[in-house]
Chain A
Amino acid sequence: MDLFSNLSLGFGVALSLKNLALCFTGCFIGTLIGVLPGVGPIATIAMLLPITFGIDPVGALIMLAGIYYGAQYGGSTTAILVNIPGEATSVVTTLDGHQMAKQGRAGVALGISAIGSFIAGSFATILIAALGAPLTKLALLFGPAEYFSLMVMGLCFAVVLARGSILKAVAMIMLGLLLSTIGTDLETGQERMTFGFAPLSDGLDFAVLAMGIFGFAEVIKNLENPETRDVVKQKVGRLLPNGTEMRQAAAPIARGTLLGSILGILPGNGAVLGPFASYTLEKKLAQDPSRFGRGAIEGVAGPESANNAGAQTSFIPLLTLGIPPNAVMALMVGAMTIHGVIPGPQVMTKNPQLFWGMIASMWIGNLMLLIINLPLIGLWVKLLKVPYRLMFPAILLFCCIGIYSINNSPVDVAMTAFFGLFGYALVKFGFEPAPLLLGYVLGKLLEEKMRQALIISRGSFMTFVERPISAGLLLVALVILVVALLPSISKKRNVVFTENS
């Protein structure tokens, strides 16, 4: 079978001693940085991007993927042990995971989340391998109009998935798109909004923007709250769940994996939804829902599996269509471009070693997480006991060195500081920065495809609705927007009603 010959090619690449070592290093360093409270996968990858520069493309991407999983798992560790979610996807884990830790079952919570993640990761790896080829063929049917509509759909998803007001989320998307137009125009070569400032003529580096908003602004925000970190004082306890716990967790892991995989494929950061959906589902299906929030193992196993499955299947839009579905994948695009690989359907045919090697390494990476994390939990607990007053200068130092090293440019560090201020202002005005980042990520490609489509159609916007695939995608976008708006409309109506009465 094709699938197996491809996978065996991949494992041939990924199992070389050098790539195994890179995968291990990536997972280890990723977890190490990801465990630090307030440093999510985005900041971790932006910070560690330069360490992969000296490696060949295959090795570099394997290492980066390892860093990503490591950072994800590190985030869950922090969520369970200190009740601080490293990022949006581990918010749910804090609910029951931290309760389990308080009951002295931290080890089991960490263990089951590692096991669940491994199972989810294995399934997602097979899914990527199976879906990769057909989706790549689908990509060939896509013209500029379809790409445009797909990205619009992704942005609509991002609006719906953002917390808080829809209006503010839309504003953030538009602001992200606006920021992406800074730099040299693709067609005419004219400089746009650069104020004659040479470092801006290539556009803003995505790592600079991401690090400013998710690194610096986060540190400043954390400094506002006096230290209230309570690392669990209870024993971590045994790591491996016993038979009863495994039986309890088995079905949630399966359901979480399935949910997370499906949601992860959606463009527009569908992966964020996975853990929430899984938690809600488990709570609905449970015989005794009151156990949730008090240390139910299902509430850790399900969302953690969904989290990891989604993290992995979000590679699918990137590798098959060349569209990054979230900020982490956008950083991957950056890394790929640095190594001369342009993500998209051609990667699989032109670079089968890289494509299948990376997919195989995903499975190996998940296995490594299981192997390195379980014995190293003591180390992470010690690391989490380092007070924030010492941690934040170190985080800033890493950030500065990381950003400087990406382009060897001191100006980038200063610009990151500026976007730290910008990100902090956004938070203070109640805007959520994630949609802005996605708008920025898709902005350049969106403009390019829109201009191409309009040239082909001679300036007629009808092209987007006349072509069936494009029309279908836009229809989906419209439907989700309307559905999302409905409760918000009724809520606003309620407010108006209470004012009148």
Chain B
Amino acid sequence: MGKFRIASPQDFAGGLFLIAIGLGAYWASSNLGMGTLRAMGPGMLPKSLAVIVAGLGALLLLTSFRVEGPGLERWSIRGLFFVLLGSCLFALTIRGSDISGTPERIASAMLIASVIFLAALFVATRMGIATDGHAVRAGMLATYVAAVFVIYHVAPVIDLSFPAIGLIAAGPLVAIVSAFASPETKWGEVIMFATFMTALCAGLFKYALGLPIPLAPWLLGY
């Protein structure tokens, strides 16, 4: 066999992914009682399933040493980032939010971290530092998670909140921010299309269907 080699990097990573989820779920359900088979407690199924998922992950990890398979695929950070950023901005601004609740705090921490992260990435590519390769990417991910964690705990001190801008503004916002995801974007047509689509959606959802979606609270009230 010769030297140690991973035959299927994709399965190897997939195995690690499953193990991480399994362990995380086991930890998250550790406070739940197992009960007995005759009267199952709330923790019986989550814990068993967590163990099974982690076990299957371990099995996948083991087979990845022997069975040949595909390599790791490149992640398109740009698409991922702007698509998710756009929709998170929609979530934060459609009705506005202060960052008192946990979800808003996590989301805004991710947002701030993302902006810093992008700026750093921009500087790095300008300076000619390579941002390719799995090790660099894994490092970037770890830094990002750490940044989110730090900002999450600092954010209440900064007191950041998002205004309620309603569909009229949040609609074009999600379309325009997510349009950054594609290198083929032409800005003139995106802005026109976004405005048109938002108007269409406002007419359809708010007026034709009467759904309680805020249009422009700062102008029309809720």
Contacts and interface: CB of A to CB of B under 8 A. Distances in A.
Given A397-B171, A413-B91, A421-B80, A181 B60 contact: no
A220 B40 CA distance: 41
Interface residues of A, number: 74
A414 B210 CA distance: 23
Given A190-B42, A216-B84, A454-B37, A429 B14 contact: yes
Interface in B24-47: 25, 28-29, 32, 36-43, 45-46
A181 B209 contact: no
A227 B186 CA distance: 14
SS of B interface (majority):
helix
Most chain A C-beta atoms within 10 Å of own C-beta, residue among B76, B84, B86, B204: B84
Interface stretch (B117-125, B128-136, B146-154, B192-200): B192-200
Nearest to B80: A220
B213 A416 contact: no
A53 interface: yes
A394 B197 contact: yes
Interface string A122-138: 00000000000000000
B213 A410 contact: no
Contacts of A404: 90-91, 94, 213
A170 interface: yes
A192 B32 contact: yes
B84 A174 contact: no
Interface in A424-466: 424-425, 428-431, 447, 450-451, 454-455, 458-461
Interface in B179-218: 179, 181-182, 184-186, 189-190, 193-194, 197-198, 201, 204-205, 209-213
B13 A429 contact: yes
B16 to A, nearest CB: 9
B212 A390 contact: no
Given A181-B49, A410-B91, A429-B17, A393 B193 contact: yes
Contacts of B209: 50-51, 53-54
A371 interface: no
B18 interface: yes
A190 B83 contact: no
B41 A396 contact: no
B59 interface: yes
Contacts of A196: 102
Contact of A396 (B42, B75, B80, B175): B175
Contacts of B175: 393-394, 396-397
A308 B11 CA distance: 35
Contacts of A400: 87, 90-91, 174
A401 interface: yes
B178 A396 contact: yes
B210 A393 contact: no
A103 interface: no
A411 B103 contact: yes
Contact of A495 (B67, B197, B211, B212): B67
Given A51-B209, A413-B87, A455 B39 contact: yes
Contacts of B28: 193, 195
A399 interface: yes
B46 A394 contact: no
Given A54-B210, A216-B84, A389-B186, A178 B17 contact: no
Contact of B201 (A178, A187, A401): A401
Contact of A399 (B36, B40, B87, B176): B87
B87 A495 contact: no
A417 B84 contact: yes
A283 interface: no
B52 interface: yes
Most chain B C-beta atoms within 10 Å of own C-beta, residue among A223, A398, A461: A223
A454 B13 CA distance: 37
A177 interface: yes
Given A168-B60, A393-B174, A411-B91, A420 B83 contact: yes
A175 interface: yes
A188 interface: yes
SS of A interface (majority):
helix
A185 B40 CA distance: 11
Given A171-B60, A223-B182, A389-B182, A420 B84 contact: yes
Nearest to B106: A414
A192 B42 contact: yes
Given A54-B210, A410-B94, A185 B42 contact: yes
B190 A174 contact: no
B193 A390 contact: yes
Contacts of A219: 79, 83
A167 interface: yes
Contact of A428 (B59, B75, B94): B75
A233 interface: no
Contacts of A454: 37-38, 40
Contact of A417 (B18, B88, B204): B88
B87 A392 contact: no
B91 A393 contact: no
Given A168-B14, A394-B175, A405-B205, A193 B29 contact: yes
B10 interface: yes
Contacts of A460: 37
B76 A220 contact: yes
B42 A187 contact: yes
A273 B117 CA distance: 45
A397 B59 contact: no
B185 to A, nearest CB: 6
Interface of B: 10-11, 13-14, 17-18, 21-22, 25, 28-29, 32, 36-43, 45-46, 49-50, 52-53, 56-57, 59-60, 63, 66-70, 72-73, 75-76, 79-80, 83-84, 86-88, 90-92, 94-95, 97, 102-103, 107, 167, 171, 174-176, 178-179, 181-182, 184-186, 189-190, 193-194, 197-198, 201, 204-205, 209-213
22 contacts: A50-B209, A171-B18, A171-B53, A174-B52, A174-B56, A178-B50, A220-B79, A223-B182, A393-B178, A393-B179, A393-B194, A401-B213, A410-B94, A411-B103, A414-B103, A429-B14, A430-B10, A430-B14, A430-B70, A459-B38, A461-B37, A495-B66
> Would you list the 8 A-B pairs with minimal beta carbon distance, nearest first?
A459-B38, A429-B14, A185-B42, A459-B37, A393-B175, A413-B91, A223-B79, A414-B91
